[in-house]
Amino acid sequence: MFEDGLKLPIVEDFYTIQGEGYHTGKPAYFLRIGGCDIGCRWCDTKFSWNANIHPVTEVDEIISKIKQSLAKAVVVTGGEPLSYNLTYLTTKLKKLNIETFLETSGAYKLTGIWDWICLSPKIQNPPKPDIFKIANELKMIIFKEEDLVWAEKNSRKVSDNCLLFLQPEWSKYEDNIGFIVDYVKKNLKWRISLQSHKFMHIP
Element of type H or E holding 63: helix 59-68
What pLDDT is stored for residue 42 in this prediction?
62
pLDDT of residue 55: 86
Q: Establish if 1 belongs to a structural domain.
A: no
Residue 24, in any domain of the structure: yes
> Residue 128 sits in which domain range?
7-200
pLDDT value at residue 5: 93
CA–CA dist 165, 22 (Å, integer): 8
Residues in contact with 171: Cβ distance below 8 Å, sequence separation at least 6, in sequence order: 42, 44
Give pLDDT tens digits along the chain (203 positions). Answer: 677 999 999 999 999 999 999 999 999 999 999 987 777 766 767 777 777 788 899 999 999 999 999 999 999 999 899 999 999 999 999 999 999 999 999 999 999 999 999 999 999 899 999 999 999 999 999 999 999 999 999 999 999 999 999 999 999 999 999 999 999 999 999 999 999 999 999 98
Asked if the structure places residue 125 within a domain, the reply is yes
| CATH value at residue 88 | 3.20.20.70
> What is the pTM (predicted TM-score) of this model?
0.94
Number of domains composing the chain? 1
Say if 2 falls within a structural domain: no
Provide the pLDDT for residue 36: 78
Tell me if 92 is assigned to some domain.
yes
Can you tell me the distance from the alpha carbon of 69 to that of 30, in angstroms, rounded to the nearest whole number?
Answer: 11
Edge-to-edge order in the sheet of strand 99-104: 56-58, 7-17, 27-33, 73-77, 99-104, 116-119, 137-142, 163-168, 190-192
Q: Is residue 75 part of a domain?
A: yes
